Structure 1
Amino acid sequence: MSTTIRRRPAAPARALVLVLAAAVVCGCAAPAPGGPTPAPTPAAPILTSAPMDDLPSREAPAVTGTYIAPVWDESAIAAAIAAAEATLTAYLDASDPDAWWRGLSPRLTPGAQEVYADVDPAGIVPAALIPGAATIVSPTDDAHLLTALVQVPTDKGVFGVALVREGGGDWLAWRIVLPGMPAPTEAVR
């Protein structure tokens, strides 16, 4: 028996927020008639080497067993790069909308799932990852063990994948940064 995943339609309030955010980001407002024309501002870098702030901590759930603190080592770097490449591969494979969502959603945080559920995969421009070219941009030190920003070059430009691992678990994406967009600075889950 085949099941079809149906995504819920965007709420009018969410659509309004997205339209307003796009207007602010795109600078769609024209200067006042007769007023001075603002000077162009330099574009923000896509990805920087500055570490992202760790996510605010929440009350820890009651669990039994031994807590293993996260570490930032070669294994964590390899896992972050692998998670970013897998997430971006799933995101860019938009040929079948239902398969696209089934492949992408398990790689996203719950908050990112809510946001990306409203994306129309038909609007995603196909791109191919450049094998072995992904690199960690952040964190750069042991003070930021739960977040990572991975730069993933493709034949269409450099994407970024912002990842989080709560409690030292698997890396999940909370944002996919398209080429030319500024790097995220704070996770919204």
Structure 2
Amino acid sequence: MSTSTRVGYARVSTREQNPDAQHDALTADGCTKVFTDHASGTLAHRPALDEALGYLRAGDTLVVTKLDRLGRSVKNLKDTAEQLDAAGVGLRAISQGINTTTPGGRLFFHMLAAIAEFEHDLVVERTREGLAAARARGRRGGGVVKMTATKAAQARLMYDAGGHTVAQIAATFGVSRATIYRHLAP
């Protein structure tokens, strides 16, 4: 007979950040194994998450300290939760008190996701309205393009080659790390 296991997933955005606080919380919550990624949440490729998802079995629970450690966006978080649910795996977010292995926990998770999605839609709608009003007054918004398609392709090559950190790539092109991450995202 199979026993259920709590498996932890931790993520820090950069190599300089330390995942120890997440590890401590996950271990204290009963996780017997913890997978850790050192990557921005905006990047699609998170090898430790992929490994954790492959490790989990029906009846297990994936535990994170906060939901934002797991998902890049509300849609990505919902997709991951649905993938876990289809595999018979629960999801627990310690700090938010979410546990999808219970009916109330599933309801709470879906309510939070729906509220976040609604809030995002409102922001998008207000932004469109503001841009339309500005255009009607003859103003054109937007910032200065910092990375051309050629520079973005060069940054991707440098990142994929593995010889440079994101900070080094950003310094090479005179932009922030966030700009590089934005261009590395799929």
What range describes the TM-score normalised by the shorter chain of this pair?
under 0.3
- Structure with bigger RCO (C-alpha 8 Å, 6+ apart): 1
TM-score normalised by L of structure 2? 0.21
Larger Rg: 2
Q: Choose between structure 1 and 2: higher helix proportion.
A: 2
Q: Normalising by structure 1, report the TM-score.
A: 0.21
